[in-house]
């Protein structure tokens, strides 16, 4: 059976190498659509982004932020749950916008992801990206 573009990828949790790019895509779409994002938190196998929903904003813009990882086929269950709250028409409009702007979004997401290195927090302080790594204790320590 073929998955719909907005459905979770069952391999998403195994795609640890895509984690920073996944969250950076959310951030890149936020920036492109005029939303502010505060930070990206990366853990060993999961991550999240804090961003501000604008009251009264067009719903397709919010759907586009949630759908961003579809550009690399890395939708998580959490993203899928958020996206399902939007109508099919809203999702479709957001998906078309993402596809039409894919190149610029991927370029910006790669710039953001390049600032990260393992578990930690990437802060967005007035457009200045500041990486703070989380110390991970190894068995030798």
How many domains is the chain built from? Answer: 1
Quick check: is 113 in a domain? yes
pTM across the whole model: 0.85
Quick check: is 140 in a domain? no
Pairing of strands 128-133, 120-125: antiparallel
Residues 81-115: tens digit of each pLDDT: 999 999 999 999 999 999 999 999 999 999 999 99
Q: Which domain holds residue 110?
A: 12-133
First to last CA, the chain: 47
pLDDT at 3 over 70: no
């Amino acid at each position: 059976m073929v998955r719909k573009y907005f459905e979770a990828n069952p391999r998403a949790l195994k795609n640890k190498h895509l984690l920073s790019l996944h969250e950076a895509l959310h951030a890149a779409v936020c920036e492109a659509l005029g939303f502010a994002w505060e930070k990206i938190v990366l853990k060993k196998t999961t991550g999240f982004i804090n961003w501000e929903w604008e009251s009264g904003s067009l719903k397709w813009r919010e759907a586009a932020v949630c759908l961003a990882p579809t550009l690399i086929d890395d939708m998580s269950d959490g993203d899928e749950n958020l996206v399902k709250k939007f109508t099919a028409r809203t999702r479709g409009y957001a998906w078309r916008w993402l596809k039409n702007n894919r190149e610029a979004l991927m370029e910006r997401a790669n710039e953001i992801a390049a600032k990260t290195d393992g578990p930690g927090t990437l802060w967005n302080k007035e457009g200045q990206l500041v990486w703070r790594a989380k110390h991970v204790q190894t068995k030798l320590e």
